[in-house]
Structures are given as structure tokens and as C-alpha cells.
Structure 1
Amino acid sequence: MGVLTAAGWGALAAFSLVVGAWLAFRSRPVPATRVGMVMGFGSGALLAAIAYELVPTGFHQDVLLFSAFGLGGVVFFVTDAVVAGRRTMGAGSAERSLVIGTLLDGVPESLVLGIGVAVSGEVAVAFLVAVFVSNLPEAIGATATMRTHGHTKAQVYGLWWSIVAVSALAAAAGYVLYHVVPRADGGYVEAFAAGAVLTMLADSMIPEAYRQGGKATGLLAVLGFAVAGALSALE
């Protein structure tokens, strides 16, 4: 049952992509300022999740943890650069680019959720909330873009539901990885994911939040950090 629980949490975290699509379709286009503000709040929440949930205890005493952290950033950066290059050259459909970009964010996060369930038997609430909130502006913005290119509701929802399914599988894989691989250490995987998520925040999410939401995103990022930090302290 544990692996199903992990898969369920992974699906729940990614379900906000569907919610974001629903919000985008429900009314007139969401103002960019509002999207940027939500993105700023989500960025702060993810930063808190990195600080309190992903970075393992004793991080400063283990060189390998630092190596895993750095490797996560390198892997994300290189993969994202390859995807960006394919977009520039016009390779692949818009849906394919969106799927790849979202998976770059979602798979490491889902793996961490699954590992967390395997390690402690319960989900890290602060990290779950951070992932859920950070997905909303991404889905709203991407859905709006797809609407302008003539994609139907069925196509858009099909895209997001497929990512929900992949996220569930990734969370289940994280759970299995911890239990099956000999000497599997969740701390190294979490450190790897922390590096990947932090690179994503610095490269794209925070700059985009500021571009759309303006200076208010700084305050909202702090509030997001405070909320996620408080949730982590209550666990």
C-alpha cells in the first residue's frame, strides 16, 4: 500500500496543473500580474521546501551531499538548455515542449515526495503545498498560450492529466528506489532534487515571476517562504 500512497501524493501535487487549466478556461485571460504574484509566492514556498525538507541533516558535513546537490543543478541546466535549443530550432510540437519543460520541474519533485513517504511513512506537507502552489501559475500561463494557438480543451486537459500520471509514477518510483536499491540513501536523492529545483527557480521561475508581477513578488516570495516554513515546523 505504501507505493500506492506515494503515487497518490505525487498525483495530488501535480493535480494543480489541471486546476490551473480549469482556472484559465473558466474566465477571461488571467492578468499577467496576478500570475506573476502567484508564481512569486510559489517560488518562496519552494525555497522553504528546499531549506527545510530537501537539504538533509548534516548536509555541511558530507562532501557527497554537496556533490549530489551540484549534480542536480548541472543535470537540470543541461537538460533545460537542450530543450530550449530544440524550441529555438522549431523541433517538436508546442505540446511536446510544454510536457518536457513541466516534467523537468515535476519529476524530481515527485521523486522526493515518494522517497519522503518511504523514509517516514508520511508526506512532507510543506513540500507538497509548495509544489502544488508553484504548479498553478505554470499551468495557467501555458494553458493561455495553447488557447491562443487553437488547442481544444480536450487536448489541453489531456496534456496536463498525462503529466499528473507521470508524476504519480515518479513518486512511486521514488518509494521503490528507497526500498529496493541496496544501500539507497534518500538524502543523496533529495540533495540532487534540491539542486535541480533551486536551479529551476533561479533560471526561470523567479525571473519570470518578477517580470510579470513586479516588485510585489519579492514580498510574496517571503510570505510563501514563511507559510511553507511554518507548515514544516508543524510537522
Structure 2
Amino acid sequence: MGESVLWGAVGAAPLLLGAVLAGVRAWPPRMLGIVLGFGAGALIASIAYELWEEGLDVGGPVALAAGVAAGALCYFFADRGVDVWSRRRGGGSGAAAGAPLAIGALLDGIPEQLVLGIGLAAGEGVSVALVIAIVVSNLPESIGSSSEMLDGGAKRRDVLLLWTAVSVVCAAATVVGFVVADLATPELRAGASGFAAGALLVMLVDSMIPEAQRRARDLTGLATVIGFAVAAGLSLGG
């Protein structure tokens, strides 16, 4: 149990750290776009070399595909719900400005760390490369979302509280995975990996990459490729 608490905290910590870094200084738009592009590339590598391969190996294509569809639909409707809520409040909510990335982090983090906890209970252990890859992908996502919220007028305290809540929920998912490991079938693990992948893919296409392109323009593609290469190298090297 103690191991799941430790690794749950390590996996979720970059989300809160990103919010702190966004509050410490104002990130120039071009630099923030580069950070978002780098994070998008890292998340693409995470989908391809961790979530997709893991799901396919443990539970097969049917459970994985079902999870991908569920994750994509869940993110789509959650994002639309936030958009409707923002418009009803007058369309200028600072908290809603970076909400898509925060939703993506939550819908990715819960199943991803749930699978991590299940793996720990099964004695599979955690590789250093995997932990670094999580940091590489989660940190830019949190910095980008928090900066968007602050630019939109949200209070620093509210941003920190939001990302603290997201971090705690994601960390708790690791403990839950550890506790319910005996009940987790291979299909459930594949579905959880697919859910995270589906949610991330929609978030990347709808929010993260367009925002990176808007801010960094011609440097977006290069930053994305570098992020992909770093995260893929860490995943494959682990």
C-alpha cells in the first residue's frame, strides 16, 4: 500500500508543479506555445508507446477500442459542458479558459494511474523511464492550462486549488488500483488504457495543439517532434 501512495504522489506531482510554475512567472506567449507543443508531442508518444501498447498486450483490441471510444466521448461531452457553463456565466470565465487541458489531465490521469496501481499490486514495479515520461508529458499540460486560466483572469489561489484537487484525485487512483487489483480483469486494464488514450487524442486535436499553434506558430511542429522524440525514447528505453 505504501508503495502505491508513493508512486501515486510522484505521478501526480507534475500537475501541481506546473500550476506553481505558471503562477511564479508570466510565460511569454511564444514560449508557452513551445511548451504546449512539446507537451503535445510527449502525450502522443505516451498514447502510442504506453497506453495503446499496454492495452493491446494485456486485454486485446476489442476492450482497448471500447475504452478509446468511451474516453473520447467522455472528454467531448465534458468539454462541451464546460463551454456551456462558461457561456451562461457570460463567456469570460478565467477558470474555463484552460479547462480543456485540465479535463484532459483528469480523464487521462485517473485511468493511467489506476493501471499503475494495479501493476504495482501485481508486482510489476515501476521503471524510472516511465516516471520521467509521465513528468515530461504532464508538466507542460499543467503549465499550459494554468497559464490560460491566469491569462483569462482566474485567481492564482483558485488555479492552485483546482490543480491540487486534480493531483489528489489522480494520486488516489493509484491507491484504488492497488486495492482493487484482484478484481481487475485484463479487459478492464485494456479499457482503462484505451479510455485515457481516447480522452487525450480528442483533447490534443481540439485544444492543446491548436493553442500551441496559435501561440508558437512556425515553431509548433518542431517543438512537438522534439517532445515526441524525448518521450518515445524514454518509453522505449525503459
TM range (shorter): 0.7 to 0.9
Question: Using the alignment, how far apart are the partners of 2:76 and 2:114 within structure 1?
Answer: 23
Provide the residue aligned with 1:190 in structure 2. 193
Q: Equivalent of 1:139, from 138, 146, 162?
A: 146
Match of 1:167 among 151, 166, 170: 170
Matched residue, 2:118: 118
What's the counterpart of residue 43 of structure 1?
40
Name which of 50, 55, 62 aligns with 1:53: 50
Structure 2: stretches of 5+ with no match in the other structure: none
Task: Give the 5 Å matches for 1:74-223.
Answer: 74-90=73-89, 94=93, 97=96, 101-111=100-110, 112-119=112-119, 120-122=124-126, 124-125=130-131, 126-146=133-153, 151=155, 153-177=156-180, 179-183=181-185, 185-223=188-226
Alignment of 1:64 with 2:71, yes or no, is no
CA RMSD in angstroms, aligned pairs only: 2.8
Give, in angstroms, the shift of residue 223 of structure 1: 0.5
Question: Percent identity among equivalent residues?
Answer: 29
Instruction: Say if 2:42 and 2:137, in contact at 8 Å, map to a contact too.
Output: yes
Residue deviations 1:15-57, cap 9 Å, x none?
Answer: 2333333333xxxx32211111110010000000000010035
Residue of 223, 231, 234 corresponding to 1:231: 234
CA distance in 2 between counterparts of 1:216 and 1:93 reads 29
TM-score (norm 1): 0.82
Q: Residue 128 and residue 53 in structure 1: after superposition, are their counterparts in 2 closer, same or farther (change >3 A)?
A: farther
Instruction: State the distance in 2 between where 1:17 and 1:170 align.
Output: 20
Q: 1:145 Cα deviation (Å)?
A: 2.6
| TM-score normalised by structure 2 residue count | 0.82
CA distance in 2, matches of 1:137, 1:103: 9
| Stretch moving more, 3-12 or 209-218 | 3-12
CA deviation string 1:57-96 (max 9, x = no partner): 5739622321221221111111111111111121899476
The alignment status of 1:9 with 2:13, answered yes or no, reads no
> How big is the shift at 1:197?
0.7
Aligned to 1:15, the other structure's residue is in SS state helix
* C-alpha contact (below 8 Å) 1:113/1:128 kept by paired residues: no
How far, CA to CA, are the matches of 1:70 and 1:128 in structure 2?
A: 26
CA distance in 2 between counterparts of 1:40 and 1:211 reads 11
What is the one-letter code of the residue matched to 2:9?
G
> 1:148-187 CA distances to partner (integer Å, 9 max, x unpaired)?
xxx3x4444334333332332233334434x153526322
Deviates more, 1:91-100 or 1:215-224: 91-100
Asked if the contact 1:6–1:175 (Cα under 8 Å) also holds between the matched residues in 2, the reply is no
Equivalent pairs, count: 226
- The answer as to whether partners of 1:20 and 1:137 remain within 8 angstroms in 2 is no
CA distance in 2, matches of 1:59, 1:98: 35
The alignment partner of 1:3 has SS state of: helix
Quote the Cα distance in structure 1 between the aligned partners of 2:170 and 2:109: 6
Q: Alpha carbons of 1:57 and 1:22: their partners in 2 closer, same or farther (altered >3 Å)?
A: closer
- Structure 1 residue runs of 5 or longer lacking an equivalent are none
Q: Aligned pair in 2 of structure 1 residues 114, 95: CA closer, same or farther (>3 Å)?
A: farther
Look up the SS of the partner of 2:152 in the other structure. Answer: helix
1:34 alignment partner in structure 2: 31
